[in-house]
Every structure is written in structure tokens, then in C-alpha cells.
């Protein structure tokens, strides 16, 4: 059984990400607790990576709104070929980079300090990802626009996978290109995995 465990240490207001599967099993990454951080619950992460499988070899992943980097770090530990972290908070991004460098100086990752929606809208690269994680701030109505722009820019490969979280009850109108394959609700939130099939070339 695989997941990443988040523990709060109230005394110094710090938390830790402990990777318990893959090549980095047992490694801990510490971060400062902040009201802006809303880590994906352990049960949801466990479910997600059971959906995706234990070995993510050859997959190129994009971790949007990286925060603590929990999803991207778990993907790397499971042998993802490359992970791009996009996070507008510089200190969060530096912490992720430092953690990865301490474990694997040669790991091929990208670290982009920018607002995720702005970055997607400006995306012009021909590079396509196999898997995209979206864990945006809630109550800001970002998820609809994020998904539409990801599809418009074709950031994902055809048959690529899109994982996203949003508030349960939010009136999300999924584009026809997304075929939902997995969905779970926990604590008023929906955790969803879909496969992309582009309707035209």
C-alpha cells in the first residue's frame, strides 16, 4: 500500500512529507505549515497512486500548484522519467528542488516559479506530458478554466491522463475530450482521474 504521509508538528509549525514507496521510500521532506497549503489527504493520495500503478517508468509528469511537491515527489519515487513542478511561491519551489537534489543530483526535473494559469496560457512548447496533476486553491473557481486551457494548448498527449481535485458540489462542466475513469469523494472534495482523447487533429 502506497501513499505519502503528512504529519503536523505543532510545536514549530512544520510538517513533513514522508515517501513510503519506490526508490525514495522512507525519505522525509520538511516544510513550513501555511494556510495556503492544502495537502491532498493521505487516503486520496493512496487511492490516486493505486489508480496510476506502482511503476510510472517513462512517464513525463506535470505537477501544477505543487505546494509541498507531494504528488510529483511520489511520481519520481515511482520512476517517472521527468517531472515539471509549477508553483508561484518561490520558497515552496526551492524546498522541493532542495529535497530532490539531496536525494538524486542527476534527476531530470523542471522548476517553474510562476502562476499556473498564466503559465498554461503562455505555453508554446511542442513538448507533451503523459500525466498532469491539478490541485488548485479551492474557492477561486480555477478548475474549469485550467482544464479548458490545458486542452486548448494540448499540454497532454492524446490518451494522456489528467488528475484533478475540486470542491464537491461545484458545477464543473467537463469538456467532451475528457473520459472520466476514476472518481472518489472525501470530506466534501472530489478526486478525479480522466483520460484525454482529442476530437480533432
**What pLDDT, on a 0 to 100 scale, did the predictor assign at position 76?**
92
Q: Per-residue pLDDT averaged across 123-137, rounded? A: 94
- Please give the mean pLDDT across all residues of the chain: 85
Q: Using the Cα atoms of residue 185, residue 68, residue 71 and residue 115 in order, give the sign of their dihedral.
A: positive
Residue 80 in this model has a pLDDT that exceeds 80 = yes
Residue 2 in this model has a pLDDT that exceeds 60 = no
Using 50, 70 and 90 to split pLDDT, how confident is the model at 7? very low
Max intra-chain CA distance, the chain: 55
Using 50, 70 and 90 to split pLDDT, how confident is the model at 114? very high
Tell me if 88 sits within 8 A of 116, measured CB to CB.
yes
Among 21-35, 79-93, 117-131, 159-173, the least confident range: 21-35
**What pLDDT, on a 0 to 100 scale, did the predictor assign at position 41?**
67
Tell me if 17 sits within 8 A of 31, measured CB to CB.
yes
Residue 124 in this model has a pLDDT that exceeds 80 = yes
**What pLDDT, on a 0 to 100 scale, did the predictor assign at position 151?**
96
CB neighbour class for 146 (10 Å; exposed up to 12, middle 13-18, buried from 19): buried
Cα-to-chain-centroid distance, residue 14:
21
Residue 55 in this model has a pLDDT that exceeds 50 = yes
Terminal alpha carbon distance of the chain: 39
| CATH topology for the 36-196 domain | Rossmann fold (3.40.50)
CA distance 41 to 191: 10
C-alpha cell at 70: 507531494
Q: Using the Cα atoms of residue 31, residue 34, residue 37 and residue 41 in order, give the sign of their dihedral.
A: positive
Residue 42 in this model has a pLDDT that exceeds 90 = no
Write 98-103 long-range contacts (CB < 8 A, 24+). Answer: 99/27, 99/29, 99/69, 99/73, 100/69, 100/73, 100/76, 103/24, 103/27
Cell 511542442 belongs to: 126
- List, for residues 140-154, the tens digit of each pLDDT value: 789 999 999 999 999
Q: Per-residue pLDDT averaged across 96-107, rounded? A: 82
**What pLDDT, on a 0 to 100 scale, did the predictor assign at position 10?**
43
Amino acid at each position: 500500500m502506497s501513499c505519502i504521509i503528512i504529519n503536523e508538528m505543532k510545536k514549530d509549525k512544520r510538517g513533513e512529507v514522508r515517501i513510503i514507496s519506490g526508490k525514495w521510500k522512507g525519505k522525509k521532506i520538511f516544510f513550513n505549515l501555511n494556510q495556503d497549503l492544502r495537502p491532498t489527504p493521505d487516503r486520496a493520495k493512496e487511492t490516486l497512486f493505486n489508480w496510476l500503478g506502482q511503476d510510472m517508468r517513462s512517464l513525463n509528469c506535470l505537477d501544477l500548484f505543487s505546494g509541498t511537491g507531494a504528488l510529483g515527489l511520489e511520481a519520481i519515487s515511482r520512476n517517472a522519467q521527468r517531472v515539471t513542478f509549477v508553483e508561484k511561491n518561490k520558497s515552496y519551489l526551492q524546498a522541493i528542488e532542495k529535497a530532490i537534489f539531496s536525494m538524486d543530483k542527476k534527476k531530470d526535473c523542471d522548476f517553474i516559479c510562476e502562476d499556473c494559469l498564466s503559465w498554461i496560457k503562455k505555453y508554446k512548447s511542442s513538448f507533451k506530458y503523459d500525466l498532469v496533476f491539478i490541485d488548485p486553491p479551492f474557492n477561486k473557481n480555477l478548475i474549469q478554466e485550467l482544464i479548458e486551457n490545458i486542452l486548448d494548448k494540448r499540454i497532454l498527449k492524446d490518451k494522456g491522463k489528467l488528475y484533478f481535485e475540486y470542491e464537491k458540489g461545484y458545477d464543473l462542466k467537463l469538456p467532451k475530450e475528457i473520459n472520466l475513469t476514476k472518481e472518489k469523494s472525501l470530506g466534501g472534495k472530489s478526486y478525479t482521474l480522466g483520460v484525454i482523447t482529442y476530437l480533432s487533429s
